[in-house]
Copies of this chain bind each other. A is one copy, B any other.
Amino acid sequence: MISAKIKEKLASGSAIRKMFEEGNRLKKIYGEDKVFDFSIGNPDLEPPKEVADALRELADNPTPGMHGYMSNSGYESTRAAIAEQRAAQSGLTIDAGAVCMTVGAACAMNDVLHSLLDDGDEVIVLAPFFMEYINYIENHNGKVIIVQTDDKFMPDFDAISKAITPRTKAVIINSPNNPSGVVYSSEQLTKLNELLKAQDHVIQVISDEPYIDLVYDGLTVPPVLKYIDNVVICFSWSKSLSLPGERIGYTLVSPNNADYEDLTGAIVLSNRILGSVNAPAIWQKVVEKSLNAKVDVANYEHRRNLLYSNIVDAGFEAVKPNGALYIFMKTPDGLSDTEFQDICAKYNLLLVPGASFKRTGYMRLAFCVSENTIKNSREAFAKIAEELRIKK
């Protein structure tokens, strides 16, 4: 009775559920801190003080209509504040009309893809990538075109160029990246812009930016608006303010976008008809009041350092991530990802094979787990390296 497509997705989803259940099973046997579960990427820091203060202020001083409908694009004042912030970062002039408040970045991406895609239109994604992109594209009858990045997980411009066809409507980028943690440079963004603008038709860049505030080593992420013209940003405060359960984010269409008028209108309409209608009212107000706040990024950086040391000190290889919440370590030579996963599981160490991000030969480890879990896992990494006779 249910649709054939969803039936297939339900069946394939059970692999992740199994891993989740295996983690819970092991935790019951060995205790929470003796199972090193790096499989789940939930931001675990509390929101900054500004968020709690803003929420309390709103709740303590209710005003008429504060929970009522507003425009489908969200409150004008919230959108203007975001436009101003992005204008200051990029040096562009940005109007509130460029912004549509959304139910997180996931709805933002669905709004954009629904606005862009005719049946069979192609969207290029750069592997490794967050697998939900496949669902988001297929929701709107699009075709997923996977292009691998290079061995540092950076865009391979030749490969992208070869993948472009007359049906290519968009390229999704995600920097800082889930799962690799890499951050694209301004040169790479410029090169992508040049490549796409040299084509016969407009190709949109969809910039998925939930991790943009989670960067380490003193880095700042180059503002995509400065380097790419035909771009739509999809942002969420899930990580920046640690509000993943509250579902608040936005889309922003570059003022330089060739389809600015059509796209801004289509996104607001999509936001309505896909069912969001608008982003939650109270959270629009909270983020407006917390626009310059951030979670304790140093805390994530500290845990990244600990986990990265565990991995490389044991003799394994990994590109050190500059951002996001993950390390994408190399699977040791001679082993398949699932073979390596099974060996790790013997030491209660749980990680996600690269196939889940369409890049085999790697495993994702999320470092948004307790510092103790990371510290306690150090021995497990060493023992696995010993079993596999990994050379330091």
Interface of A with B (CB < 8 Å)? Answer: 1-7, 9-10, 13, 42-44, 46-47, 51-52, 55-56, 58-60, 62, 64, 66-70, 103-104, 106-111, 114-118, 121, 132, 135-136, 139-141, 169, 201-202, 204, 242-247, 258-259, 262-263, 265-266, 269-270, 272-283
Contacts and interface: CB of A to CB of B under 8 A. Distances in A.
Name the 6 nearest CB pairs between A and B, nearest first: A245-B281, A59-B59, A107-B275, A135-B273, A106-B275, A110-B275
Given A59-B60, A60-B60, A246-B281, A276 B114 contact: no
B46 A244 contact: no
A139 B3 CA distance: 14
A137 to B, nearest CB: 11
Given A69-B244, A247-B276, 18 more contacts: A1-B259, A2-B262, A6-B269, A42-B68, A52-B62, A60-B60, A67-B242, A68-B242, A103-B103, A103-B107, A104-B275, A104-B277, A114-B139, A135-B273, A139-B274, A246-B282, A274-B275, A276-B276
A275 B276 CA distance: 9
Contact of A56 (B59, B114, B115, B118): B59
A69 B210 CA distance: 15
Contacts of A67: 47, 51, 242-246
Nearest to A249: B275
Contacts of A247: 103, 276-280
Contacts of A13: 269
Contacts of A121: 3
B273 A136 contact: yes
Nearest to A279: B247
Nearest to A201: B1
B6 A115 contact: yes
A178 to B, nearest CB: 15
Contacts of A132: 272-273
Contacts of A201: 1
